């Protein structure tokens, strides 16, 4: 499980120290990407096999891929 909120500290292109507070999906995405820097894959964080089940979105009508765009 990931934190819904996080704070990152970083340096910008001019080496100015910056702070960014993130929440929701962006917070979880950043933590996911940060895990890759530590060599951690999503499969290593999975609780059980149900974590990998892909559900069809509501209203899925079996559209061809070309029709989705």
Which residues participate in catalysis according to the annotation? Answer: 33
* Separation CA 31–CA 59 (nearest Å): 30
DSSP-H helix ranges across 1-69: 25-37, 42-45, 65-68
Contact 37, 45 (CB under 8 A): no
């Amino acid at each position: 499980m990931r934190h819904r909120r996080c704070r990152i500290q970083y340096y910008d292109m001019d080496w100015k120290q910056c702070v960014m507070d993130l929440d929701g999906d962006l917070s979880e995405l950043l933590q996911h990407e940060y895990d890759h820097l530590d060599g951690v894959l999503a499969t290593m964080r999975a609780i059980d096999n149900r974590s990998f089940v892909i559900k069809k979105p509501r209203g899925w009508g079996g559209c061809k891929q070309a029709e989705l765009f």
